[in-house]
Structure 1
């Protein structure tokens, strides 16, 4: 599989990821510590990150060239009651997905003497959910074991454990669990664990019915023409068929001008414009979107029924790396609601990417 990073395991990986993310406009902006989305950390063959309420995730990175994508995903909420949840995922092309998997740790059966473990299948993704006992056993074994092998009739997968302990130790540190009874790795006698931060609540506001196609096209055409006079190179004319517009009520219009089209990414610039008055259009500012507080989003979609604006900036065509997130219209501005990132193109599905920001809808 293609890797966003370079060949060297640490320094070139970080530099390579930065080059690609910058080249596609997917870098993260950093805000105050309480709300900032911090980029995931790489620990050899694992990656880990935490969101704004200190729920942390660690993912094993599959090999770059393999027919069956196999990886572990561990997620743990913060706070004294936060319990680790460990999943094993397989993605592949099969006529009939496997119904059970056999696991081995460095050649020895895991769990010890166990029969094949039952799994669930959803399309091309097979999931094994570990029990609490097996999760604890695998975490403990990772201190010495180097590889988890997964087999089923007709397939074999391999998961490197190199870096897994360092990733879990980092998670313990972020959640204030070091030397506590609930630590994943470095346990101690202390029973005090910091509570999880409060989950932000966002009140999304639905907007009036969508403009008909003719009205939406007219609003976008007027804004595009006005911008072209002021800044001729700000938007590609060839992408104009991707322009959109929606009514926000109170004689305001949300306009998305498609400004750059690639093989699998369409970048749009967003403005709030008084109806039929492009001279007074104001560019939006998106925190942790495609750039440093810019008004650009990639592969964006707006749902007027919920007031939710989503984006999915792909690192490559199959969509197994990049940045995804969303914002909610609260009647005055667009407020960030979610953000997730995967900086390595290794076949990991977007639903398993590392969450960096989350909220609750009011």
Structure 2
């Protein structure tokens, strides 16, 4: 991790961790599931009725960095917000002991936790503490199953093991030994020709292109193996010497995936595969993000043209598919970048 850190993703029971390439870590926990085993809670009816809720714990890299906590009350598929009061106050209870309140305005389902509440959560999560939020009528319970493993993994990734600031494995090692934050890589994105500027090839050149694409993708895109029944290949210009080729790689009942390659502008079209799971291309960016389950979580993938190649500029998820929110509960990246337009030449 000392040179170029790579992000990690880790899931254990009801908790997950995503640490990105700047060494910022985000841990998300959720309500307990009815099929949890060895939960210590034998009240199956309570588990089946658990209201969806999630907590996000974010910590930047470097010595003496605090943990920032946020609460997200699940409301995916719920009735319109007009039926709720203008403001709703929720009391945090840890083993029935009140630890302050959070306030949610109508139509807003995410609230920041006070530093004292976050500290109380961090102390309760590794054990078997009963963590709840209640408005007096409804109660949202947070599972701590898997939290200890996620907290330990976060300490390990950020180099905090055996330091006073570790979440779990505290010790006396100097806090200055904690790994520092790393700036997000800068990707300079030059302008590309308009998407309408399609490149048209002769029949012999198209056959050579299809052969080059098939050779570079192997078995990853079987549609290329059938020239007669395969999908059309679309060509766009990226620069004077490089082209972008794409074709439908697979199609399901409700989803389609496009394969994308960069190629030389002339035969024999030396091809480099970018992805076989693409969803859309627009102005130098390939989006391969798609729903992971239903419409309450997504996998995020994006590549940006830097003038020579496509660089992955975003990768992550929106969290577990737990019915928290349309599109997911949080942003949990493992790759972040600083994409900047190329300077305009005078």
Which among 249, 255, 259 is matched to residue 259 of structure 1? 249
Unaligned stretches of 5+ residues in structure 1:
1-31, 287-294
Normalised TM-score (structure 1): 0.71
Which among 275, 280, 286 is matched to residue 309 of structure 1? 286
Quote how far apart the aligned CAs of 1:169 are: 2.2
Kindly provide the CA deviation profile for residues 124-168 of structure 1, in whole angstroms up to 9, marking residues without a partner as x. Answer: x60121122221122123344433223347643221112223321
Q: How many residues align?
A: 308
**Aligned: 1:339 with 2:309:** no
Which among 319, 329, 335 is matched to residue 357 of structure 1? 335
8 A contact 1:239–1:261 mirrored in 2: no
Kindly provide the CA deviation profile for residues 97-146 of structure 1, in whole angstroms up to 9, marking residues without a partner as x. Answer: 563242343551431xx4x4212565xx6012112222112212334443
8 A contact 1:70–1:90 mirrored in 2: yes
Pair 1:101–1:160, CA change in 2 (3 A): farther
Quote how far apart the aligned CAs of 1:358 are: 1.2
Unaligned stretches of 5+ residues in structure 2:
34-47, 215-220, 341-346
Which position in structure 1 is the counterpart of 2:153? Answer: 170
Kindly provide the CA deviation profile for residues 323-350 of structure 1, in whole angstroms up to 9, marking residues without a partner as x. Answer: 3121211111011112103684323544
Distance in 2, matches of 1:167 and 1:109, equals: 25
Deviates more, 1:156-165 or 1:341-350: 341-350
Kindly provide the CA deviation profile for residues 20-59 of structure 1, in whole angstroms up to 9, marking residues without a partner as x. Answer: xxxxxxxxxxxx9835443x22233211232222211111
Normalised TM-score (structure 2): 0.74
Q: Which has the larger radius of gyration?
A: 2
Quote how far apart the aligned CAs of 1:223 are: 4.5
Which among 187, 194, 200 is matched to residue 170 of structure 2? 187
Q: CA RMSD in A?
A: 3.6
Distance in 2, matches of 1:108 and 1:238, equals: 65
Which position in structure 2 is the counterpart of 1:34? Answer: 4
Pair 1:233–1:200, CA change in 2 (3 A): closer
